[in-house]
Amino acid sequence: MEDIIHNLGVVHKRIENACKKFGRDSKDVRLLLATKTVSAERIKIAIGAGEKLIGENKVQELKDKDGVLSKLNIERHFIGHLQTNKVKEVIKYANCIQSLDRLELAEQLDRRLQNLGKNMDVFIQINTSAEDSKFGIAPDKTISFIKALKPFETLKIKGLMTIGLLDSDLEIMRPCLRLLRETRDRVLGDGIEGIDSLLLSMGMSHDIEIAIEEGSNMVRVGSAVFGNRIPGKEVWH
């Protein structure tokens, strides 16, 4: 318990310092806690310390922790790869889906949401590292993808999300983060109807500072708060 609260203090300080250093307003950078493999009880400690936003990678984990977390006043985002056959479940638990990466998924989400008379906030996942192993829209297809989402009126496009290249050398990550910002700027420059602003969800435990320097509005932090996850239980997409 002490650890989580201490670590949260360290992470908030890192965010604050990076904002100061790079001339960003700290109100423009939210902390999302990436809580895959973290128990609901441990997540509750962070929420007790004032956190309001978590992200899960698996629908099963959202479901398993729902009994505890649905009673709390927090936002739950889905940040993992979303299979089409999990759409019905995920919309029961998530307030936002950050991994919208294909039209078929948009279609399924829209159909289910229409039936429920609900809307859903979404981020479009962009593959900024051009790795086959990563999901996401190619940066140069982002504008056409967003235009193709127009019929799906239940989906409210809030931003772009990326994972980027995972490497201990932070400068290898930077071009991915920059590419997400440039992609955002190109989309906004295109003047698509209804798209007046887009948040950037990028940056994780090891690259919080660079992500803020490159314009992140939401850093997704797991291990720096909850400690290292058990190897083999990782889900990186």
- Cβ of residue 178: shortest distance to ligand PLP, in angstroms? 18
Q: Where are the beta strands (DSSP E) in 134-178?
A: 155-161
Give the residue closest to ligand PLP by C-beta: 222
Q: Where are the beta strands (DSSP E) in 82-184?
A: 96-100, 120-125, 155-161
Restricted to residues 55-84, the positions that interact with ligand PLP (CB under 6 A) are: 57, 79
Contact between 15 and ligand PLP per CB under 6 A: no
Question: CA 83, 216, 194, 146 torsion: positive or negative?
Answer: negative
Compare residues 154 and 212 and give the one whose CB is closer to ligand PLP. 212
Q: From the CB of residue 229, how many other CB atoms can be counted at a distance below 10 Å?
A: 15
Compare residues 31 and 154 and give the one whose CB is closer to ligand PLP. 31
Q: Quick one: which H or E segment has residue 220?
A: strand 218-221
Restricted to residues 96-115, the positions that interact with ligand PLP (CB under 6 A) are: none
User: How far is Cα 20 from Cα 225, in angstroms, rounded to an integer?
Assistant: 21
Answer for which of 14, 36, 65, 112 binds ligand PLP (CB under 6 A) is: 36
Instruction: Residue 39: name the closest of 223, 226, 204, 224 by CA.
Output: 226
Size of the site for ligand PLP (CB under 6 A): 12
Restricted to residues 195-224, the positions that interact with ligand PLP (CB under 6 A) are: 204-205, 220-224
Answer for which of 163, 173, 179, 200 binds ligand PLP (CB under 6 A) is: 163
Residue 147 corresponds to which tokens in the numbers above? 């235009």
| End-to-end Cα, the chain, rounded Å | 29
- Cβ of residue 199: shortest distance to ligand PLP, in angstroms? 15
Interacting residues toward ligand PLP by CB under 6 A: 34, 36, 57, 79, 163, 204-205, 220-224
